[in-house]
Amino acid sequence: MISAFLPWLGLAVPVLFAVAVWRRSVNAVLACGLSATLWMGTFGDQFLPPDRQPADLVVVQHNFSDENRDPGGTVARLMEVQPGLVGLEEITEGVSVPLPHRVVFGTVGLWSRWPIERAEPVDIKPRGLEADWRRGLRAEVNGVIVYVVHLPSVRMRLSGFDTRWRDDSAAQLGAWLRQERKPVVLIGDLNGAADDPGLQPITRTMTTARSTPAFSFPARMPIARIDHVMANGGKVTAVWALGRTGSDHLPVAARVRVGRGPGSGAPGSGR
């Protein structure tokens, strides 16, 4: 879980460098230089210009929140970027997105400009969880496999962060993803940053754009991107956060290039 906060550690380097110069410590200056190099090597790509190559479609991901008091305003915010696909989590009865095709399983749903085929629930329920828990779906949209998922939250215990349920669910999802032979777009609240070791079963297969931080949580003061759009057999060329909604998450939008499938031959919309 600490990986979600690692990008912010770079802010400490200039402060430590100033202290090292003030104290005239050569070793401390060298240590700060090494720290800055390591940080840039890990997170510097988040500050590079985004890929400007054309994309096939715009995808929106949002944890809608089952306590959302402004569902209409939230949907209007999501539609500002004219998405081709919208994936939502924590949806309740009555949530409607103005796209012609949709599928809902449990608390997750997919809305699409194109027909949705072969939709099915995806069982990623962590072992040991007794509650009714339906947080995954898989569908095919014009030759591309689309997943919408919501992994378990990270729990705070007396011993520290407890990620066991989240990691178990991620491992199950990773097994589903490894079986795919068509291009895949993954949309979801993964409750972890892309660098989180617990998400490696997913990130070994799926990639996302890192040219901007696109922090999505918490909405009042976002410090981490735990809402993701990822792809395999294609490329997420850009990800950015949208404005506040009635949720405790910010929505994120992404441009995705799959080469075929959703959006092929259709006008795209981007940032």
pLDDT in tens, the chain (271 residues): 545 555 545 444 455 446 545 555 666 546 556 555 654 555 555 555 555 566 789 999 999 999 999 999 999 999 999 999 999 999 998 899 999 999 999 999 999 999 999 999 999 999 988 888 999 999 999 999 999 999 999 876 655 568 999 999 999 999 999 999 999 999 999 999 998 999 999 999 999 997 788 999 999 999 899 999 999 999 999 999 999 999 999 999 999 998 655 655 443 334 4
φ, ψ of residue 194 in degrees (nearest 5) = -60, -25
Tens-digit pLDDT profile for residues 24-54:
566 654 655 655 565 455 555 555 555 556 6
